[in-house]
């Protein structure tokens, strides 16, 4: 039952091609655009303070990534988030390396007052965003998904948001309903941008519409698609280089039956 | 006859390795560099206001892409275009999302006073640049190539430039001589940067020299190479991920015979 | 004997996952991150003046690339290099297009007063950095590795650094001990970022630790790994597009025996 609901969102994205405004980072912006295109969404990386407010109101969702934050981008992000919020455009936050670096941690903690619809990060980032002790090692998590469950639920309830902690195990919660996904492959953290692109994919999935009252469904669907496609791609490839093309192919071509038979999930109480 | 003339330009680029100064966007700069290298050209993405004037005079052509325009880049673009013009370096404009966003539309309409040699965009962008009604959806066209014929011819005659409208059908005109190309594949718009890289490829082709009086020939050759290589690459791949490596391989290795037998074109009156 | 010492550094990187702070360029930052990840290192591209000093002290090495230098990045680089130096973090300089452009040449010549541990560039760049006559053509070398031997040795002795000149033949020297490597493939300069990523790989290798008194060993190991993996990848691929995934796969999976049997080197007196 759940797999077919989730895959119906994959289909919605393919059919509706939601326009996703990405304020991305310099390292993974290309990968992010390609993941969105493969999934059937339409990415656009408009960056200038002069343009973001005008553009975000045309978009179906906004994706904000702090990976290479600087002062100019921080300003553009604030303008975009505010304009998007005024226009009812939902936004997703990827708090890259929050908890490990002061400037972005302070920025992110203020930014979430503007109520992201979804937050997606690794365990260290979610703990760091929730105000936990500094952790993380650059962009890598030093904590496990299990360690971040409490922080994720607290953030979700506090912000009325969905929080997705991704890693070897993914945990997605809106504070009331929670799920664990166990797909993907250990090669994925050895490819830059698999996490950043997933955050933008979540934005595409909530931007496709139809689940305004329950964004947990499209958020879970995006994480599930990325993981299932990744697991299948890893099986047929020899390393992190050949993984990427295969992952994009799978994101574009995965069918409902293969999705359902590959998905490993467990709803949590 | 035309296919062999066009392929002779492909050969010129491979032999002469024109140096192309690219003022690119943050999303597709890597793809752009790889496409130029695969085709035998030499790309360089010098970006600083302090360096662009010095560098552009060393280059054989300049490629300007507005995809992630901001105020600092707008300034660098103006400096580079003026310095290149003074030194007789031809330049190509890719008016990404012009018509959809005010800041870049105003900028592009002023910039073309400095007479680009070639303009390459999708139908919405060419219509937008020519002063037509706002259209487009982010970086995607909402118009067909057919819709943009009049705008393309008007721009070409007005600016003494070649205008290339690319899409499922490509239309290239200098206002007097026009052609339609029907290669490529529907996977190409699902890979970020295929259009941006094509604009830079046009710059390489006009920069290779030998057609100063008739840039329509090298502009057509660049669009034809991209489309033929793309069509062949798509035939042997399973999706947008595996397409990219295959496209680059084909750009590097395509031979005259395969080019001629695959090219679909129709000269227009 | 030497091959097994070199491969032991490859193993150290895989085991220790050194954290490399990269101040990269806009074109090749994605490739750089993927090469580091494939080799087992942990890249992070923190760019803001507000963050670089805090972050570099967490890193095992710093990699500085001047490919798309502008005034803001120049400031961040100076802050990072100084903070890293105070914290004992070794740094690698990639002097992209130094010698060909005034702004970056002036900047690089001042920057090396802060004593890079390793400098990696092509022949024109090493000659340009050492104060030789302007040369180079954009980012491409117009000189051969042989031409740059004297400049490399002089720089190495002057700065107490290791200098690696890479090209068809690679030459790595600390002024006293020198080696030539003859792996790689002619496809590699047709893929953007193979050189930039190699500089960051050198940073990872010196950051893995254990050779503080003799950084020539890890610098040679990094260049050797890139060349051997590249040569093997080129043998099994059809062009510059398919090369990249195969190279990343080889960087991740190469074993000691294949490394030793493929490595071509000659120690120089």
Which tens digit of pLDDT belongs to each residue from A175-219?
A: 999 999 999 999 999 999 999 999 999 999 999 999 998 999 999
* Out of A27, A191, A244, closest to residue C29 by CB: A27
Please report the pLDDT score of residue C140 as a whole number: 75
**% of chain C at pLDDT higher than 90:** 94
pLDDT at C142: 83
Residue A172 has pLDDT above 90, yes or no: yes
Segments forming the whole domain that contains residue A177: 2-268
From C31, C137, C140, residue closest to B30, measured CB to CB: C31
CA C233, CA A127: separation in Å to the nearest integer? Answer: 41
- For residue C138, give the nearest of B19, B72, B252 by CB distance: B19
CB < 8 Å to C193, chain B:
30, 33
Q: Please give the DSSP secondary-structure letter assigned to residue C147.
A: G
C98: DSSP letter: B
Is a pLDDT exceeding 90 seen at residue B256? yes
| Whole-number percent of chain A with pLDDT over 90 | 94
For C28-65, the pLDDT digits (tens) are 999 999 999 999 999 999 999 999 999 999 999 999 99
Place of tokens 């295959």: B246
CATH number at residue B92: 3.40.1190.20
The pLDDT tens digits of the residues spanning B147-164 come to 999 999 999 999 999 999
In this prediction, residue C136 carries a pLDDT of 63
pLDDT number for residue A213: 87
Lowest model confidence (mean pLDDT) among A143-147, B221-225, C174-178 = A143-147
Average predicted confidence (pLDDT) for chain A = 96
> Residue B132 has what pLDDT?
79
Question: Greater confidence, B133 or B149?
Answer: B149
ipTM, two decimals, is: 0.96
Distance from CA of B15 to the nearest CA of A (A): 30
Does the pLDDT of residue A102 top 70, yes or no? yes
**Residue A225 to residue B170: CA distance in whole angstroms:** 34
A255's CB contacts (< 8 A; 6+ apart) are none
What the block records as the tokens of C36 is 């580091």
Q: Which residues of B touch A55 (CB under 8 A)?
A: 100-101, 138
Please say if the pLDDT value at position C83 is more than 80: yes
Residue contact A38–B190, C-beta within 8 A: yes
Q: Check CB contact under 8 Å for A241 and C19.
A: no
Query: Which one, of B188, B172, B185, B174, lies nearest residue B140 by Cα?
Result: B188
Residues B87-125 pLDDT 10s: 999 999 999 999 999 999 999 999 999 999 999 999 999
Beta strand B170-173 pairing with B162-165: antiparallel
In C, which residues are within 8 Å of B249 by CB distance? 237-242
- Considering only CA atoms, give the Rg of chain A: 17
pLDDT given for residue B7 in this prediction? 98
Contact at CB, B241 and A46, closer than 8 angstroms:
no
A194 contacts A230 by C-beta, under 8 angstroms: yes
Please name every residue paired with B61 in a beta bridge, in sequence order, or none if there are none: B20
**Which among C161, C160, C202 is positioned nearest to C181, based on CA atoms?**
C202
pLDDT digits (tens, 9 = 90+) for B198-252: 999 999 999 999 999 899 999 999 999 999 999 999 999 999 999 999 999 999 9
Cβ neighbors of B139 (< 8 A, separation 6 or more) are A42, A44, B67, B96, B97
pLDDT band at C189 (very low <50, low <70, confident <90, very high): very high
Give the residue from C168, C186, C170 showing the smallest Cα distance to C239: C186
User: Given pLDDT bands bounded at 50, 70 and 90, which one contains residue B136?
Assistant: low
Distance between CA atoms of residues C28 and B119, nearest Å: 26
Q: Please, are residues B249 and B242 in contact by the beta-carbon 8 Å criterion?
A: no
pLDDT higher than threshold 90 for residue B264: yes
Return the pLDDT at A135.
Answer: 63
Q: What is the mean pLDDT of residues C138-142?
A: 75
Angle of the C194-207 helix axis to the C2-16 helix axis, nearest 10 = 80
Given this model, what pLDDT does residue C134 score? 62
Q: What span, in angstroms and rounded, lies between the C-alpha atoms of B225 and C122?
A: 31
Q: What is the pLDDT of residue B201?
A: 98
> Each residue of A23-73: pLDDT tens digit?
999 999 999 999 999 999 999 999 999 999 999 999 999 999 999 999 999
B1 assigned binding-site residue: no
Q: What is the mean pLDDT of chain C?
A: 96
Q: What are phi and psi of A128, to 5 degrees?
A: -65, -40
- Parallel, antiparallel, or unpaired for β C19-23 and B265-268? unpaired
For B154, the token pair is: 């008007």
pLDDT at B134: 61
- Rounded to two decimals, the pTM is 0.97
Q: For residues B165 and B223, what is the distance between their CA atoms, to the nearest angstrom?
A: 10
Nearest residue in chain C measured CA to CA from A194: C34
Residues belonging to chain C with any Cβ–Cβ distance to chain A shorter than 8 Å: 19, 21, 24, 26, 29-30, 33-34, 37-38, 42-51, 54-55, 58-59, 72, 244-253
Please answer yes or no on whether B26 and C28 come within 8 Å at the CB atom. no
CB contact at 8 A, C102 and C128: no
pLDDT at site B133? 72
pLDDT at res. B140: 75
Q: Give the rounded percent of residues in chain C with a pLDDT score beyond 70.
A: 97
pLDDT grade for C253, boundaries at 50, 70 and 90:
very high
pLDDT at C213: 87
Q: What is the pLDDT of residues B10-56, one digit of tens each?
A: 999 999 999 999 999 999 999 999 999 999 999 999 999 999 999 99
**The total number of structural domains that make up chain B:** 1
Please answer whether residues C213 and C205 qualify as being in contact, where contact means their C-beta atoms are separated by less than 8 angstroms.
no
Q: Does residue B193 have a known ligand-binding role?
A: yes
Give the pLDDT of residue A161: 98
- pLDDT of C40 reads 98
């Amino acid at each position: 039952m759940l797999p077919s609901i989730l895959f119906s969102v994959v289909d919605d994205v393919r059919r509706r091609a939601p326009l996703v405004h990405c304020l991305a980072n310099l390292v993974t912006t290309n990968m992010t655009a390609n993941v969105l295109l493969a999934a059937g969404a339409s990415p656009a990386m408009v960056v200038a303070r002069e343009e973001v407010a005008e553009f975000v109101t045309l978009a179906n969702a906004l994706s904000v990534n702090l990976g290479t934050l600087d002062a100019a981008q921080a300003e553009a992000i604030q303008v975009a988030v505010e304009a998007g919020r005024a226009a009812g455009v939902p936004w997703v936050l990827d708090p890259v390396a929050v908890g490990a670096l002061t400037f972005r941690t302070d920025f992110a903690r203020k930014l979430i007052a503007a109520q992201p619809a979804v937050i997606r990060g690794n365990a260290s980032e979610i703990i760091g965003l929730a105000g936990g002790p500094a952790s993380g090692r650059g962009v890598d998590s030093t904590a496990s998904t299990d360690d971040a469950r409490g922080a994720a639920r607290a953030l979700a309830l506090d912000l009325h948001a969905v929080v997705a902690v991704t890693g070897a195990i993914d945990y997605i919660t809106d504070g009331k309903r929670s799920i664990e996904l166990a797909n993907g492959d250990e090669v994925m953290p050895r490819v830059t941008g698999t996490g950043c692109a997933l955050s933008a994919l979540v934005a595409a999935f909530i931007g496709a519409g139809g689940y305004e009252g329950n964004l947990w469904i499209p958020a879970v669907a995006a994480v599930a698609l990325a993981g299932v496609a990744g697991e299948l791609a890893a099986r047929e490839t020899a390393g992190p280089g050949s993984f990427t093309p295969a992952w994009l192919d799978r994101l574009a071509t995965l069918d409902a039956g293969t999705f359902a038979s590959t998905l490993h999930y467990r709803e949590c109480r």
